[in-house]
């Protein structure tokens, strides 16, 4: 499990160690230098002789960069430090260590000189700002970062991109919320000290952190600000049927999806559900849509009956009052029975009224535009661009207003419970941004919700919001992995923009078809 924390939580955890005289900066900077050397070797570049440029601001991150530069210089690197803060504000011990090790130190005043220096150094170490910074970068750092970002893009286009290593966080990101209040120098590798900072995993900043390495400083930290499931977590959480199970103990999912205009949404929702392993799927909808579903999947049962979770709304027109009345009936029946409900697409409009809150275990699955519409309908005037700029904060706000777990879809998907954990999962590929992919995800989530409900029923209790948040994160994880497989990508690879494989286009149905093999690999 990746756990990410606020800057304040990290500073509080550091205080007793610093008071005890533990040399945290020495440990951090040595680990930073080791990570840089390891990255060079991984790229089949020699460490000795490597030309390294330290981008040094005031504060401790600049000190980490200078100490790491001293270690690298002793290993034979040609290290230069560009001071972008007055020398009086630069970490004195780090500056002294760098000079003793033979690091060339110079004050840089303008962007032209900085870009010229950067062009002659294939490795850049970003120690401009740290976790104490708030708001966007100010002049002259903002202009310097913009110039360096432009130069890095130019070098990438001609096939000689620099290796950019961020110290703790890429300079300029919202450390606690993942916001982008101004220019940011994107990193290939972020070496973060003591714990992952929340801004490294939360969108929209998360992709700018590159690969993340954590330097273990022995910090004692409390509850995380955000979490991400990894392979082992997903495998441990996946519901595997036993020999004594039958279709009802495995879970029955009710699906009310699709319309004459969007019959494919019902088919894709059912496809995602069946590929994930329910005991049974019941479909309720118009006869023409039901015929399409049964034609594709004859194992589906058309008609009412026992249900342990519902998926309501994929492919439903929010202006179709008759269909919405039917969905409201299913919602009310679910609330009375205490079973989970997943609201997607048109079903989200059932939560638009200000006074309406989830009456039972509920997950809503909006994209940014749908979340903006929901928040606006409930008296919070929000535009889609505002949700895109701060998705984690808006997901949490929606969870508090509705009482539901919010699964906010995006390149990095945020899951927020009203009073519990906040997950962020970024396994997917850009190829997943295609019609119907959300329908498949709704089906996956529905099946996992039935399994959670079956477990709860066995213990004579109700599914909790925290459990549903965990289930939602699991659904997003495996859905993203299936998208990667469908796009011809390995489970772990750099993004195409950072030199990784590009993959190929996919259809939503390809994602559903890839799910069983992905789940099998996960459990294997």
Measured CA to CA, the distance from residue 482 to residue 429 in angstroms comes to 10
| 77: its two tokens | 């690197």
Residue 126 C-alpha from the chain's centroid: 23
Measured CA to CA, the distance from residue 465 to residue 478 in angstroms comes to 20
Report the binding-site residues for (6S)-NADPHX. 60-64, 130-136, 168, 265, 315, 367, 439
For the chain, domain boundaries:
2-227, 251-488
pLDDT at 420 (0 to 100): 73
Q: 302 near 321, Cβ under 8 Å? A: no
Residue 508 C-alpha from the chain's centroid: 21
| 215: its two tokens | 């330097």
pLDDT at 499 (0 to 100): 61
Residue 139 has pLDDT above 90, yes or no: no
Q: Looking at the domain that runs over 2-227, which CATH code has it been given? A: 3.40.50.10260
Q: Which residues pair with 192 in a beta bridge?
A: 214
Report the binding-site residues. 60-64, 126, 130-136, 168, 171, 265, 315, 367, 409-413, 438-439
Residue 398 has pLDDT above 60, yes or no: yes
| 362: its two tokens | 């509920």
User: φ and ψ at 172, to 5 degrees?
Assistant: 110, -15
Neighbours of 306 (CB within 10 A): 11
Q: 484 near 478, Cβ under 8 Å? A: no
Q: 418 near 400, Cβ under 8 Å? A: yes
- The DSSP 8-state label assigned to residue 201 in this structure reads T
Neighbours of 90 (CB within 10 A): 23
Cα distances (Å, whole numbers) of residue 51 to 37, 54, 119, 124, 226: 12, 10, 11, 9, 36
Of how many residues is the chain composed?
A: 524
| Per-residue pLDDT band at 495 (split at 50, 70, 90) | low
Measured CA to CA, the distance from residue 330 to residue 453 in angstroms comes to 17
Measured CA to CA, the distance from residue 465 to residue 449 in angstroms comes to 11
pLDDT at 498 (0 to 100): 57
| Per-residue pLDDT band at 27 (split at 50, 70, 90) | very high
| Count of CA atoms in the C-beta half-sphere (13 A) of 513 | 8
Burial of 324 (0-12, 13-18, 19+ CB in 10 A): buried
Closest among 158, 64, 179, 167 to 124, alpha carbons compared: 167
Measured CA to CA, the distance from residue 252 to residue 258 in angstroms comes to 19
Report the binding-site residues for AMP. 409-413, 438
High-pLDDT (> 70) share of the chain, %: 98
Q: Residues of 227-242 as b/e, b for ≥16 C-beta within 10 angstroms? A: bbbeeebbeebbbeee
Residues 339-345, mean pLDDT to the nearest whole number: 97
| Per-residue pLDDT band at 494 (split at 50, 70, 90) | low
For residue 47, give every residue at least 6 positions away whose Cβ sits within 8 Å of its Cβ, in sequence order, or none. 37, 40, 41, 72, 75, 76, 77
Beta strands in 293-430 (DSSP E): 301-302, 309-312, 341-343, 362-364, 405-408, 413-416, 422-425
Of the options 3.30.930.10, 3.40.1190.20, 3.40.50.2300, 3.40.50.720, the CATH number for the domain spanning 251-488: 3.40.1190.20
| Residue bearing tokens 């270690």 | 71
Q: Global pTM?
A: 0.91
DSSP helix/strand/coil, 348? helix
Handedness of CA 314, 320, 324, 326 (dihedral sign): negative
Residues 139-151, mean pLDDT to the nearest whole number: 93
Measured CA to CA, the distance from residue 219 to residue 231 in angstroms comes to 24
Cα distances (Å, whole numbers) of residue 302 to 266, 291, 317, 331, 436: 12, 9, 21, 18, 21
Residue 493 has pLDDT above 80, yes or no: no
Is it true that the peptide bond before 230 is cis, omega within 30 degrees of 0?
no
| 138: its two tokens | 């100010």
Provide DSSP, 78-129: EEEEEE-S-GGGS-HHHHHHHHHTT-EEEE--SHHHHHHHHHT-SEEEEES-
Neighbours of 274 (CB within 10 A): 21
Report the binding-site residues for K(+). 61, 126, 171
Give pLDDT tens digits for 37-82: 999 999 999 999 999 999 999 889 999 999 999 999 999 999 999 9
């Amino acid at each position: 499990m990746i756990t990410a924390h606020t800057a304040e939580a990290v500073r509080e955890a550091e205080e007793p160690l610093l008071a005890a005289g533990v040399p945290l900066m020495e440990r951090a900077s040595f680990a930073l230098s080791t990570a840089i050397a390891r990255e060079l070797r991984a790229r089949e570049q020699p460490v000795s002789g490597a030309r390294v440029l330290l981008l040094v601001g005031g504060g401790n991150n600049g000190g980490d960069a200078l100490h790491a530069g001293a270690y690298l210089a002793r290993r034979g690197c040609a290290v230069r430090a560009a001071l972008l803060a007055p020398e009086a504000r630069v970490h004195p011990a780090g500056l002294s260590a760098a000079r003793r090790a033979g690091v060339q130190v110079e004050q840089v005043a303008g962007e032209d000189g900085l870009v010229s220096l950067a062009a002659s150094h294939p490795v850049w170490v970003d120690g401009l700002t740290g976790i104490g910074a708030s708001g966007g970068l100010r002049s002259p750092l903002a202009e310097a970062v913009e110039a360096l970002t432009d130069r890095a893009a130019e070098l990438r286009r001609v096939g000689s991109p620099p290796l950019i290593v961020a110290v703790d966080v890429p300079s300029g990101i919202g450390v606690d919320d993942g916001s982008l209040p101004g220019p940011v120098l994107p990193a290939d590798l972020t070496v973060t000290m003591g714990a992952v900072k929340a801004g490294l995993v939360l969108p929209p900043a998360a992709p700018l952190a590159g690969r993340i390495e954590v330097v273990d400083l022995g910090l004692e930290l409390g509850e995380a600000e955000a979490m991400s499931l990894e392979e082992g977590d997903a495998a441990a959480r996946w519901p595997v049927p036993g020999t004594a199970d039958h279709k009802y103990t495995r879970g029955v999912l009710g699906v009310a999806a699709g319309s004459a205009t969007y019959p494919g949404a019902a088919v894709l929702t059912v496809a995602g559900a069946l590929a994930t392993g329910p005991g049974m799927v019941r479909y309720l909808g118009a006869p023409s849509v039901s015929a399409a579903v049964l034609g594709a999947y004859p194992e589906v049962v058309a008609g009412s009956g026992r249900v342990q979770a519902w998926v309501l709304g994929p492919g439903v027109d929010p202006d179709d009052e008759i269909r919405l009345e039917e969905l409201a009936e299913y919602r009310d029946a679910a609330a009375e029975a205490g079973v989970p409900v997943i609201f997607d697409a048109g079903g989200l409009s059932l939560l638009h009224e200000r006074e309406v809150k989830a009456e039972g275990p509920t997950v809503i699955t909006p994209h940014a535009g749908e979340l903006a519409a929901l928040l606006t309908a409930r008296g919070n005037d929000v535009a889609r661009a505002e949700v895109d700029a701060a998705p984690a904060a808006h997901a949490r706000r929606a969870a508090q207003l509705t009482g539901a777990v919010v699964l906010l879809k995006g390149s990095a998907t945020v899951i927020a419970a009203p009073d519990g954990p906040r997950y962020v999962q970024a396994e997917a590929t850009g190829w997943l941004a295609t019609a119907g992919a959300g329908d498949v995800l709704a089906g996956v989530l529905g099946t996992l919700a039935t399994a959670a409900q079956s477990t709860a029923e066995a213990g004579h209790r109700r599914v909790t919001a925290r459990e549903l948040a965990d289930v939602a994160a699991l659904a997003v994880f495996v859905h993203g992995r299936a998208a990667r497989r469908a796009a011809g990508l390995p489970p772990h690879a750099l993004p195409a923009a950072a030199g990784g494989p590009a993959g190929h286009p996919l259809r939503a149905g390809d994602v559903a078809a890839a799910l069983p093999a992905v789940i099998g690999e996960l459990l294997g």
